[in-house]
Structure 1
Amino acid sequence: MEELPTIKQMKKSLPNIYDNWLCPVCSDVIEDFNHIWSCVCHVNILQKIVRDSQHFILTAINNNIKSDFCHVFFTDINSLDNFWVWSIDNNRLTFIDFIKNFIPITLSNYLKSLIFNDKVIRTIIGDLHDFTYNEVMNNIWKPRCELQVVLEKNLSITKKKKLDSRLNFSTNSSFNFINNTNFSSVDYIENSLESLRNNIYFGGDILGVYAAR
């Protein structure tokens, strides 16, 4: 999911077109993957997605509890600490990591504490992930893409213009690589032989060694 075509990603292949572009939603900063979640225009939407996800899993859990006298309440779900945090944290798994399909141990342990079997746990987590992913796509990413399409249309940026720019960029990159590489140097030859040797030892497409360089 981190490879979503944000402005930062688009700049890598189309720098001539997107060089000075900012986030198409807020127009404040350069849009990268992290900005999708920190964009001021997305805060209220993310809060709603989190609340709806909490109610979704609450319903799913109670539907799978067999006893009529034992039910889970919203306060129980809300106590899953970091799981409902909608920001990126390098030290802990958050709601954003869950959208990317990382399952925090706190969630699985909580479901295990309710005496659910593995099949039920997988179903609840899978259904919750599908729900949150679709909510993010439909309420954040797709509207964002629609805004970008409008901006590009207003600037007369067509598919043909993008294709031409990408081809020119690829051609120039290849030309610079060839001109800046000494194919007869000892280091280059040794590195090429090492790559070839590794492919022979560990398997792979030998011809692809040079095609990929």
Structure 2
Amino acid sequence: MNVHQFLRSIADARALLSFCSMARFTALGSPLLFDWAGIHFCLSQIKGFASHKNGRPESWIFRIKLLLDMLPILSTLQQRKPYLYSPDWLCPLCNSAPEDLNHLWTYPYILPDLNPCFTHHSEVAKFRDSCLFSFLSLKPLDVAFQTEFSALDCWNCDTPSLSCLWLTRGLLPAHLMTFLARYFPLSVVYKTISPLLNDFQVELYGDIWLCRNVLFHAWEESQGILAASKLHGPSSSSSLITPSSQKHNSPLATVPQDSWISWISSSIIRGGSWISHLDFLRRLTVQPLRISF
């Protein structure tokens, strides 16, 4: 047995369990709400469409940060740099609510040609229809399949539903996978959904996120928040927020923001399946350990 590979498997298993148990995910509910094998497969299929300055594809970074709720939206910046971003500030684009991740897809109007709520609604519907067309092209299915598939809660983008917001992040709802598994092997489901999820999130990146960034950076400049000021800590003259008044809703607020991105990237590059680590650690904790040299 390769001891180094064995120890690496233990480390990966612990990392995966820690990853699935992050406050960013457990706050949403039980880990069983999501199909982690499908999530891993979709991430491992990411194909970058542009080169990021650090050598990693922009689409890869966007999708991972979207999954982890680590995009630099105002609520995140208010936690990281409270001396620059007042905790009292609302979304600078609509000034009606705090700008958290879900708000990106739900505020209704900025400019005549930029309506994130309508864009998100349209892209979810297009994603649903593309999935339906792809699965129907694999084998003949009756009308009941089409009706039940379209009625799944993850496609409810009017409110939108919680599972629709999860799907937008790339968290594949378990109820979607369970339904599709009645008709197709999960391997087929993953291969079919993965490129469609990629297209869906790339559209969100271009039509909502990039447009939002242009307007957000203009707002930052109007507030005197320049690139140079972001590189330095609070000055002695800055009005600081006391530690007791800062509310961090996730351990990620206190760890390097790229740590999980690096681990996911490394896991994908090395190959293998995250989900296999879960089974590995479960067996390791309930069965006698046998190592032969």
For the aligned pair, the TM-score class normalised by the smaller chain equals: 0.5 to 0.7
Kindly tell me: are residues 29 and 79 of structure 1, through their superposed partners in 2, closer, same or farther at Cα, counting changes over 3 Å? closer
Kindly tell me: are residues 74 and 118 of structure 1, through their superposed partners in 2, closer, same or farther at Cα, counting changes over 3 Å? closer
- Partners of 2:83 and 2:234 within 8 A in 1: no
Name the residue aligned to 1:63.
Answer: 137
Q: Which has the higher contact order (CA 8 A, sep 6+)?
A: 2
- Within 5 Å, give how 1:151-170 maps onto structure 2: 151-164=219-232, 166=233, 168=235
- Partners of 1:11 and 1:18 within 8 A in 2: yes
1:108 pairs, out of 143, 156, 177, with 177
1:18 counterpart SS class: coil
1:95 pairs, out of 159, 164, 173, with 164
- Partners of 1:83 and 1:94 within 8 A in 2: yes
2:218 pairs, out of 119, 144, 150, with 150
Name the residue aligned to 1:4.
Answer: 71
Kindly tell me: are residues 99 and 34 of structure 1, through their superposed partners in 2, closer, same or farther at Cα, counting changes over 3 Å? closer
Q: Alpha-carbon deviation of 1:160?
A: 0.7
Matched, 1:122 2:193: no
Query: What TM-score, normalized by structure 2, do the two folds share?
Result: 0.49
Structure 2: distance between partners of 1:77 and 1:47:
17
Q: Alpha-carbon deviation of 1:22?
A: 2.3
Q: Alpha-carbon deviation of 1:156?
A: 3.9
Name the residue aligned to 2:156.
Answer: 85
Structure number with larger C-alpha Rg = 1
- Partners of 1:23 and 1:29 within 8 A in 2: yes
Name the residue aligned to 2:102.
Answer: 34
2:122 pairs, out of 45, 48, 60, with 48
Structure 2: distance between partners of 1:142 and 1:24:
15
- Partners of 2:102 and 2:165 within 8 A in 1: no
Structure 2: distance between partners of 1:15 and 1:106:
39
Deviations 1:150-205 (A, max 9, x none): 112334432112223x3548xx99xx99xxxxxxxxxxxxxxxxxxxxxxxxxxxx
Percent same amino acid at aligned positions?
23
- Name the aligned partner's letter for residue 36 of structure 1: L
2:208 pairs, out of 107, 129, 140, with 140
2:231 counterpart SS class: helix
Query: What TM-score, normalized by structure 1, do the two folds share?
Result: 0.64
Q: Which runs of 5+ in 1 are unaligned?
A: 178-213
Kindly tell me: are residues 4 and 110 of structure 1, through their superposed partners in 2, closer, same or farther at Cα, counting changes over 3 Å? same
1:30 counterpart SS class: coil
Deviations 1:99-132 (A, max 9, x none): 2232223322332232x22321111222232122
How many residues get paired? 165
- Partners of 1:7 and 1:23 within 8 A in 2: yes
**Structure holding more helix per residue:** 1
- Partners of 2:70 and 2:76 within 8 A in 1: yes
